[in-house]
Amino acid sequence: MVSSLPLKPLLPGTLVQGQPATLGVMGGGQLGRMWAQAAQRMGYATAVLDPDAQSPAGLISHHAITTTYDDPAGLAQLAQLSHAITTEFENVPAAALEQLARQRPVAPTAASVAVAQDRIEEKAHFQRCLDAKGVPVKVAPYASIQNTEDLQAVPLGLFPGILKTARMGYDGKGQVRVANPAELQAAWAQLKHVPCVLEQLLPLVAECSVLVARGADGNCVHFPVQRNLHRNGILAMTEIYPGNVPADLAQQAVAATRHIAQGLNYVGVLCVEFFVLDAASPQAQGLGRLVVNEMAPRPHNSGHYTLDACDQSQFDLQVRTMAGLPLTVPRLHSAAIMLNLLGDLWLAHAGMPPWDAVLALPGTHLHLYGKTQARAGRKMGHLNITSATPQEARAVALQVSALLGLPLDFDVDSKPL
Ligand code: ATP
Ligand code: MG
């Protein structure tokens, strides 16, 4: 696929054919909002396309286009207003990105996003480029299920497993745990017989992710490895400090992520998620301790700490990649913990979580996304805690959790590795 990126950088604060240099985004959620804030800080105007007239990014942008993602007139307007375009979510229709790319530079490309939209293609891409580069990181054993023959042919060794829809899953939605073939059959019916993958349930001791930013010139920089803790399938907390993940695994995860980006000729910010397996388990003997799970072709919730703990945030680098600006290696200057703030918190505190008490604690940075309707599980904001040491960051995180009533139990144990 031909890269549609500018040969010349789009310099911020300039006029392009009489119009202020403007960057556009498909999707107006919190990721689009934080991207727009980074772009505006640098001097760009921003344009957002989202069906919701009150979208978090639309509310703060110079231009908000309120149409569906496949509306030709809305897309034409976005292309007319913006000199370069990105996306804040992976389920954007590939045809929409292709239409935009006929008129403007689009990063990441429709082809890269298409791989991330489909777990079957994504796993095949991971295994192909990691094997080719001799990186000893594998995907979880899996079978793809597209028809009843596939269902019947599933090897018993995949049980117990997790059935996941091949497309459109997020925050653990579209997933069912199954213990045997009968449960698998019922779960596939529950998921309406859409294409799925059955993955072997692995003995996780931790989860981590790596963010890279790659420019059109192939220059690729990465952030430190993030350790992620989920609750009910939704990211609850990310911890970042040297040693959060054993050094050999961290190195492997970074190498794997860089190869995955390179293999797509990727331009933009890319996040790859990994599992760390129990070293004593038979699965770790067969697969190795690090298993690659999935990727997001955009900034990621686990990278929100970069806003306060790094000299460049993931959103700054997203802006640089799409505008063809140089990338510098981001530097972590503080130990950090990110706590996700879900709607449950608003429901538990009658709409008024005690932010004044939280912000009285050292190194706390509150980010709210401008969403007025709190719902259980809805991402309303996050709190970054930065400190000189991981111990201090943890101590503040415990105080914040007590003030907000955040539970300290996670899907996978949080003890040090
Ligand atoms: P995201 O919100 O990251 O997009 P998702 O819905 O796309 O999530 P996954 O990341 O594949 O789904 O899975 C969600 C969580 O379920 C993982 O973070 C992990 O805790 C658990 N999980 C997924 N696959 C496996 C597996 N094969 N073995 C054990 N646990 C798993
Ligand atoms: Mg995930």
In angstroms, rounded to a whole number, what is the distance separating the alpha carbons of residues 79 and 103? 6
Q: What is the pLDDT of residues 23-41, one digit of tens each?
A: 999 999 999 999 999 999 9
pLDDT given at position 321: 98
Q: What is the pLDDT of residues 326-376, one digit of tens each?
A: 999 999 999 999 999 999 999 999 999 999 999 999 999 999 999 999 999
What's this model's pTM, rounded to 2 decimal places? Answer: 0.96
- Distance of CA 164 from the midpoint of ligand 1 (Å): 9
Which residue's C-alpha comes closest to atom 17 of ligand 1?
Answer: 233
**Other Cβ atoms within 10 Å of 378 Cβ, number:** 15
The answer on pLDDT for 118 being more than 60 is: yes
pLDDT given at position 414: 77
Give 5's pLDDT tier (boundaries 50, 70, 90): low
Q: What is the pLDDT of residues 178-237, one digit of tens each?
A: 999 999 999 999 999 999 999 999 999 999 999 999 999 999 999 999 999 999 889 999
Q: What is the mean pLDDT of the chain?
A: 95
Give 6's pLDDT tier (boundaries 50, 70, 90): low
- Distance of CA 13 from the midpoint of ligand 2 (Å): 37
Of 118, 162, 168, best ligand 1 pocket probe by most atoms within 8 Å of the beta carbon: 162
In angstroms, rounded to a whole number, what is the distance separating the alpha carbons of residues 228 and 389? 18
Give 52's pLDDT tier (boundaries 50, 70, 90): very high
Q: What is the pLDDT of residues 269-308, one digit of tens each?
A: 999 999 999 999 999 999 999 999 999 999 999 999 999 9
Crossing angle (nearest 10°) for helices 247-263 and 119-132: 110
Q: What is the pLDDT of residues 255-266, one digit of tens each?
A: 999 999 999 999
Pocket of ligand 1 (CB under 6 A): 140, 162, 164, 169-173, 199, 201-202, 204, 207, 230, 233, 273, 293-294, 411
**Other Cβ atoms within 10 Å of 38 Cβ, number:** 23
- Where helices occur in 133-220 by DSSP H, the ranges are 148-152, 181-190
User: In the block, which residue shows the tokens 């008490």?
Assistant: 357
Is residue 32 a contact partner of residue 9, using CB atoms and an 8 Å limit? no
Side-chain-side CA neighbours of residue 283 (13 Å): 23
pLDDT given at position 216: 96
Q: Please give all residues whose CB falls under 5 A of ion ligand 2, grouped by chain where several chains appear.
A: 273
From residue 143, alpha-carbon distances to 149, 164, 296, 313, 378 in Å are: 12, 11, 21, 37, 31
Domains of the chain: 15-106 (3.40.50.20), 141-200 (3.30.1490.20), 204-407 (3.30.470.20)
In angstroms, rounded to a whole number, what is the distance separating the alpha carbons of residues 258 and 244? 20
For residue 175, the ligand closest to its alpha carbon is 1
Is residue 96 a contact partner of residue 69, using CB atoms and an 8 Å limit? yes
Give 1's pLDDT tier (boundaries 50, 70, 90): very low
